[in-house]
Amino acid sequence: MVKKGIMGGTFDPIHLGHLVTAEEVRDYFQLEEVVFVPSARPPHKVGQTITDSEHRYLMAVMATITNPFFQVSRVEMERPGPSYAVDTVRFFREKWGQEIEIYFITGADAFAQIRAWNNPDQLFELSTFVAASRPGYKLVGWEGKYRSRVKTIEVSALAISSSEIRRRVRNKESIKYLVSESVENYINKNGLYAGD
């Protein structure tokens, strides 16, 4: 069966942790492609300042340009209201049809929150979850009824987070080799994260 991956996130900004995770999952599970879906209005980040989704989308496009298996989707930017993963997976299920196995890729920290997501039951019906070990987050005690729909994978440890990138830019510290060169240039050119 053909498998395709979806990786949702705020990607503020997209960094090498996201890219390495997606690539290792793609390679390991033999996914035909991985679609990055920048979240327009992440429901769990209400009240936090988030960079305009056009900036986040463009950075994701630039960071993934060198990987023929990676795509970026605007689906959550074109949908009004809170960006729920379940709506996105439903969209791709309709687009790709029933013959595709959908792998929804998350880091272990995001996966640990999944019961709090909107309609987790339907999410598990529509897709298989990949919980990628993320430095500092151990996936323990996962006893859900959808256990068989969850795959875990250990990815090369990259202790990078978008919050750390933003903090570094704010403090005028280097972000070289933590994000792609294009993303680094884009951040500098547009003065992103310089002051909050």
Residue 192: CB minimum distance to ligand ATP, A: 13
Task: Confirm if 4 and 32 have CB atoms less than 8 A apart.
Answer: yes
Query: Binding of ligand ATP at residue 53 (CB under 6 A)?
Result: no
Task: Confirm if 60 and 22 have CB atoms less than 8 A apart.
Answer: no
- Closest CB to ligand ATP among 1 and 183? 183
- Closest CB to ligand ATP among 25 and 126? 25
What lies within 8 Å, CB to CB, of 174 at 6+ separation is 168
Task: Confirm if 170 and 196 have CB atoms less than 8 A apart.
Answer: yes
Query: Binding of ligand ATP at residue 139 (CB under 6 A)?
Result: no
86, 134, 184, 193: residue in contact with ligand ATP (rule CB under 6 A): 134
What lies within 8 Å, CB to CB, of 37 at 6+ separation is 6, 7, 8, 9, 72, 73, 75, 76, 88
Q: Is 181 helix (H, G, I), strand (E, B) or coil?
A: helix
Residue 165: CB minimum distance to ligand ATP, A: 8
- Closest CB to ligand ATP among 4 and 18? 18
Residue 90: CB minimum distance to ligand ATP, A: 19
Query: Binding of ligand ATP at residue 49 (CB under 6 A)?
Result: no
158, 167, 168, 182: residue in contact with ligand ATP (rule CB under 6 A): 158
Pick the closest to residue 89 from 46, 132, 49, 37 (CA basis). Answer: 37
What is the footprint of ligand ATP within residues 94-133 (CB under 6 A)?
106-107, 109-110, 132
Phi, psi of 141 (to 5 degrees): 65, 20
Question: Two tokens at 19?
Answer: 């890219």
Residue 32: CB minimum distance to ligand ATP, A: 20
Binding site for ligand ATP (CB under 6 A): 9-12, 17-18, 21, 106-107, 109-110, 132, 134, 155, 158, 160-163
